[in-house]
């Protein structure tokens, strides 16, 4: 079979078959092989069985927009619908369809994007400081006016971010406690000092791991929830609606969350410390031949309450930072659902980063102070 789509004989071209999307590449290939027709050539569309927009676009491209618009004059035998289709497509193709892609300039683009992200980090930190100031400025006057405290909202948030997180915090710190005990036993056994495993677990959990693990979990669990809640409200214009009614979104939405975190995180840090110790104790008694009594006595004798206080003193700071970052990122959401997603990610990354940074600085400080 020669060519079923396009045939050309002495300046007369005829198109036949199904000129539809399904055959687009074949049709295009057939046209390429036959080459262009000059305007003098006649063309017949009698053989067309079916025609859709893709096929019509090819025909219009072949014969030119002007000729296609006058299809009624030279192809009156074509069904009315197909004529209408050709005319409509010709009208649509009567505008320049090629678009200019901007050629990327690699080096300057790279420099620009570095500069952009540096400026982004800078403005993010400034916004965070400004927001901390705003929250504190709203919080302090409110402390003197108990009738405006929002107990219901605060308690609801304590339940969501504190109470509901107890199982996961307890389980996680329990397992890390067990791991630390195993690690300690492995290293200390070489010195015949296995019994110091108890001190290792106690020091690390009271000073660092209890509060740090709880804070990192809440950064993942609660900061993201705050961002998503406030972000959904922002994109639904609820926050604008509050402001338009003369209500303060900081007081209504942010403070209950911040206060809930300030209450929840120290409690969760305490839960973390205890269950870390329990994990350590379990490993000690079950596989290190240290009795539970010995564990408890050593704990009482060797570990002073200062370590517990040092650990717990960091909890409110972490709580404040996590809550503020979560809420701020929520307020930064603009419009689309995509924006809620990207700000939620950003709030988790930022709050974990800040928690670890503050923890490192605090460790330096406490070491210098000799606490």
Is residue 285 within the footprint of other proteins (CB under 8 A)?
Answer: no
Q: 77, 81, 190, 368: which one contacts other proteins (CB under 8 A)?
A: 81
Q: Least distance to other proteins from the beta carbon of 78, Å?
A: 9
Is 16 strand, coil or helix? strand
70 vs 186, which CB is nearer to other proteins? 70
Is 144 strand, coil or helix? coil
Given a contact cutoff of 8 angstroms between Cβ atoms, the answer to whether 333 and 340 are in contact is: yes
**Cα–Cα distance between 289 and 248 in angstroms, integer?**
60
Dihedral through CA 174, CA 175, CA 181, CA 187, nearest 10? -160
Is residue 73 within the footprint of other proteins (CB under 8 A)?
Answer: no
Is residue 57 within the footprint of other proteins (CB under 8 A)?
Answer: yes
Q: Least distance to other proteins from the beta carbon of 59, Å?
A: 12
And the tokens for 232? 């959904």
**Angle, CA of 167, 172 and 177, to the nearest 5°:** 125
Q: Least distance to other proteins from the beta carbon of 116, Å?
A: 18
**Cα–Cα distance between 174 and 167 in angstroms, integer?**
10
85 vs 228, which CB is nearer to other proteins? 85
Is residue 85 within the footprint of other proteins (CB under 8 A)?
Answer: yes
Q: Least distance to other proteins from the beta carbon of 94, Å?
A: 8
Binding mask 91-130 for other proteins (x = CB under 8 A): -xx-xxxxx-------------------------------
And the tokens for 235? 């994109």
Per CB under 8 A, the segment of 79-87, 147-155, 214-222, 344-352 that binds other proteins is: 79-87
Q: Least distance to other proteins from the beta carbon of 60, Å?
A: 9
Q: 302, 338, 345, 364: which one contacts other proteins (CB under 8 A)?
A: 338
38 vs 103, which CB is nearer to other proteins? 103
**Cα–Cα distance between 371 and 363 in angstroms, integer?**
10
Q: Taking CB under 8 A as the criterion, which residues in 222-241 touch other proteins?
A: none
The closest alpha carbon to 252, from 170, 367, 353, 135, belongs to: 135
Instruction: Give just the sign of the alpha carbon dihedral 112, 113, 119, 122.
Output: negative
Is residue 20 within the footprint of other proteins (CB under 8 A)?
Answer: yes
The closest alpha carbon to 161, from 67, 240, 263, belongs to: 263
Per CB under 8 A, the segment of 45-53, 125-133, 273-281, 289-297 that binds other proteins is: 45-53
Question: Please, how many CA atoms are within 13 Å of residue 294, restricted to the half-sphere of its CB?
Answer: 14
Q: 50, 126, 148, 301: which one contacts other proteins (CB under 8 A)?
A: 50
- Residue recorded with tokens 């057939």: 30
And the tokens for 28? 């295009």
Q: Which residues pair with 15 in a beta bridge?
A: 6
Is residue 40 within the footprint of other proteins (CB under 8 A)?
Answer: no
In the complex, which residues of this chain contact other proteins (CB under 8 A)? 20-22, 24-25, 28, 49-54, 57, 79, 81-82, 84-85, 87-89, 92-93, 95-99, 335-338
């Amino acid at each position: 079979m020669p060519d079923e789509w396009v045939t050309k004989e002495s300046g007369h071209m005829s198109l036949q078959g199904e000129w539809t999307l399904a055959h687009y590449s074949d049709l295009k290939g057939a046209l390429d092989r036959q080459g262009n027709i000059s305007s003098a050539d006649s063309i017949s569309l009698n053989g067309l069985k079916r025609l859709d927009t893709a096929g019509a676009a090819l025909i219009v491209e072949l014969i030119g927009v002007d000729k296609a618009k006058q299809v009624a004059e030279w192809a009156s035998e074509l069904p009315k619908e197909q004529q209408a289709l050709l005319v409509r497509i010709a009208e649509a193709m009567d505008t320049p369809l090629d678009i200019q892609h901007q050629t990327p300039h690699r080096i300057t683009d790279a420099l620009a994007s570095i500069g952009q992200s540096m400026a982004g980090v800078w403005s993010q930190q400034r916004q965070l400081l400004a927001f901390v100031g705003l929250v504190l400025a709203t919080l302090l006057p409110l402390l003197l006016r108990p009738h405006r405290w929002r107990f219901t909202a605060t308690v609801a948030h304590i339940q969501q971010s504190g109470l509901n997180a107890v199982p996961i915090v307890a389980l996680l710190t329990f397992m890390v406690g067990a791991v630390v005990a195993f690690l300690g036993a492995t290293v200390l056994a070489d010195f015949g000092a296995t019994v110091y495993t108890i001190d290792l677990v106690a020091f690390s959990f009271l000073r660092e791991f209890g509060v740090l693990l709880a804070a990192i979990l809440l950064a993942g669990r609660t900061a993201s929830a705050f961002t998503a809640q406030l972000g959904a409200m922002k994109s639904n214009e609820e926050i604008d609606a509050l402001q338009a009614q003369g209500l303060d979104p900081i007081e209504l939405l942010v403070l209950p969350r911040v206060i809930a975190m300030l209450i929840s995180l120290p409690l969760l840090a305490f839960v973390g410390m205890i269950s870390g110790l329990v994990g350590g104790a379990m490993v000690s008694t079950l596989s290190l031949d240290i009795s539970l009594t010995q564990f408890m006595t050593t704990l009482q004798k060797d570990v002073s309450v200062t370590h517990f206080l040092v650990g717990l003193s960091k909890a409110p700071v972490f709580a404040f930072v996590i809550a503020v970052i979560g809420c701020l990122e929520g307020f930064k959401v603009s419009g689309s659902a995509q924006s809620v997603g990207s700000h939620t990610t950003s709030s988790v990354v930022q709050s974990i980063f800040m928690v670890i940074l503050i923890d490192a600085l605090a460790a330096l400080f406490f070491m210098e102070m000799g606490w």
